[in-house]
Each structure stands twice: as structure tokens, then as C-alpha cells.
Amino acid sequence: MNNKAVVLYSGGLDSLLAVHIAVNLGLEISALFIKTPFYKKDIKTLKQNLDKLGVELNIAEIDSEYLNIIKKPKYGYGKNLNPCLDCRILMFEKAKELMEKTGASFIITGEVLSQRPFSQRNKANILLIEKKSQLENLVLRPLSAKLLPITLPEKTGIVDRNKLYAISGRSRKPQLALAKLFNIENFETPAGGCLLTEPYFANRLKNLLKLDLLEYYKFAHIGRHFVIDDNLLVVARQKNEYDIIASYKDKFDFFETPDQPGTCAVFLKKSTKEQKKLASQIVLRYSKKAKSVLCVSEEGHQIFENLENIDEEKLNSLKVGE
């Protein structure tokens, strides 16, 4: 065993503290950021704090693997659509790959015992994740190490356990105190967390999963969603969404208002004539002065006009994730 380690790095304070502790311990480290399909952070921002310490940032993209565990997680979901244990195991497996590639001997994380309700709830879950990712005794969690079984890096004397911490729970005070000690001034404030734990986003994603449309997960972020039979209509709410949705008009059945500026929409599956008519009514509902709707599909161009106003109760019954 050597003093080389891979640090799982999210850009948040806990993982940044883990990096600082590792550097202070004299370890040779590489940082690994796991980029999920729902990633929104700026890579340049992620690198800033690492650059100050001379730590290399590696990035692993896990889109297809991540979507697969959302579809069918072996260890189930958390409160919403968050497959926490499966997700963590996947991240550890990616860290193990980099560990083997770089010749490192162990990995380091910023995990805090009992901080998160599922993956970090207790020692049993933490140890299960290690076992399933084939990293037993090789995961050092410096923020909670003194509350957890001793790891191989500690046993062999590569890491001094006395220089590690015993933080647990959801309070941020201990971490903020450490940030002050390490002179860390710029770090992400803890807000929100995983999108899959947020009911609004999770409900939209669940619906995409139910309709066998998870490959279009990017639409979970945008528009108004309406379920029409086994199809999903996505209607733009604002200009930037209009531009995004309009960019798909050659791929999906597309709706817009040709006579007046309004909204636009797409079906994510091939639509029937009745579905097109209902979609046109919905588009008119969100277009102030428009009187007609143009549908562009494989069948060609079709104008829908002189349509009755859609009943608000029916409209609301079709909405998802509002």
C-alpha cells in the first residue's frame, strides 16, 4: 500500500475539506468528479479550489449507467426517485477504476455519517457500499473516520487516525469551523442537493420512466408537461424554452402559432389526429392572441383553427409536475 489516493470530489464543502485534509496528511491525491445526466455545475468553478492546492481534476461521465440504475435500482429508491445506494456504488466503482489506473491504493470521500437519510444513514449502509464496490477497508472518510471502523490506510500507518475527525449528523457547524481553519473562503453553500430527491423534478422523471421516455430526460427540466394517453406533450413557458423545444421540430410532432407570437410544443412520441387536436387546444390556451395552430409532423403541415377553448379542469387533469 502506498500514499496515493483518489478523492471523490463534488465541489461541495465536505469533499473540499476531504481534499484539504488529504493534502495536509501528505498524501498524493487525484480528484474525481462524477458527472451525472443532471449535472449543472461549471467545470471551471469546480477546478478553482483544486488548482490552488495543485490537485488534478478527473471527470467521469456516467449518463447511460446512471439512467439504467434509475430505471431499475437493485437497492430501491429513497423518498422520491433517488437510487442512493446504487448511485453511490456506481460512483465508488468509477473511483476504483481511476485508483487502479493511477496506481493509487485507496479512495477518500467527504461523506459524513448520518448526514444523508439513505446512503449515509448508518454504518451498515456505508459498509454495504464498500463491499459491493469491492473497496472494503479502502475507503477513508476523514470527516467521520473516528466514528467508523479503522481502514487499511490507517492500519498500515499511511494515515494518522489522530489527525482525522468525528463529525456526524446534519449540522454544518463543524464543517464551517474546519473551513475557517483551512482558510477556505469560496465554496458551494449546501442547497437542494440531488435533483432526484426533489418532488417536482422526480415526478416529471417518474412520468418519463412510466411512458418509456427516460432517454429524453432533459425535458424534465423544461416546459409544462401534459400526459395525453400514452404520450407526453411539452409546452414552452418562456423564450429560452421556446428555442430549446423548437430545435426538436424535425424530430418530433411540433406545434406553433403561425398567426401570432405565442408558445410552441412537441409530442415525445408519434401522435394521433385526436392527440394533435388536443395539443393544439393546449397551445392556444397558453398563446395570448393566437387563433390557429400549425402542426408539423411526418404527415406534413396541418392547421388547426376554430377550436373550442379547453376546459380548465381537463387541462389540469393532464398536467404533470406543476
Contact (CB, 8 A) for 12 and 187: yes
Cα angle at 65 between 64 and 67, to 5 degrees?
Answer: 65
In this predicted structure, the answer to whether residue 214 has a pLDDT above a threshold of 90 is yes
232 — pLDDT class (breaks 50, 70, 90): very high
Same domain, 107 and 208: no
pLDDT recorded at residue 190:
58
**Of the residues 131, 164, 196, which one is the last residue of a structural domain?**
196
How do beta strands 56-61 and 28-35 pair? parallel
In this predicted structure, the answer to whether residue 288 has a pLDDT above a threshold of 90 is no
Q: pLDDT tens across 241-264, in order?
A: 999 999 999 999 999 999 988 899
Same domain, 83 and 58: yes
How much of the chain, in percent, has pLDDT values that exceed 90? 82
Q: By C-alpha distance, which of 258, 300, 253 is closest to 278?
A: 253
> In total, how many domains does the chain have?
2
Q: How far is CA 307 from CA 15, 283, 293, 310, in A?
A: 56, 11, 9, 9
Same domain, 20 and 128: yes
**Of the residues 175, 196, 217, which one is the last residue of a structural domain?**
196
CATH number of the domain to which 48 belongs:
3.40.50.620
Q: pLDDT tens across 67-82, in order?
A: 999 999 999 998 899 9
CA distance 33 to 57: 7
Query: What pTM value is reported for the model?
Result: 0.87
In which domain, by residue range, is 71 found? 4-196
Average pLDDT, the chain: 93
Q: By C-alpha distance, which of 76, 84, 93 is closest to 138?
A: 93
Same domain, 61 and 143: yes
Q: By C-alpha distance, which of 67, 72, 103, 74 is closest to 89?
A: 74
Same domain, 212 and 187: no
3-state DSSP call for residue 131?
A: helix
Same domain, 124 and 263: no
Contact (CB, 8 A) for 309 and 282: no
Give the mean model confidence (pLDDT) for residues 207-234: 96
Cell of 34: 462524477
Q: How far is CA 251 from CA 248, 263, 267, 272, 297, in A?
A: 5, 18, 10, 16, 9
Distance of CA 45 to the CA centre of its chain: 17
Same domain, 119 and 230: no
63 — pLDDT class (breaks 50, 70, 90): very high
Same domain, 50 and 138: yes
Q: pLDDT tens across 107-154, in order?
A: 999 999 987 655 555 788 888 999 999 999 999 999 999 999 999 999
The most distant pair of C-alpha atoms in the chain lies apart, rounded to whole Å, by: 80
Percent helix, percent strand, percent coil in the chain, to nearest 5: 40, 20, 40
Same domain, 185 and 216: no
Same domain, 172 and 209: no
CA quadruple 110, 114, 118, 122: dihedral sign: positive
Same domain, 269 and 237: yes
**Of the residues 149, 177, 196, which one is the last residue of a structural domain?**
196
pLDDT recorded at residue 292:
96
Give the mean model confidence (pLDDT) for residues 182-193: 74
Same domain, 183 and 245: no
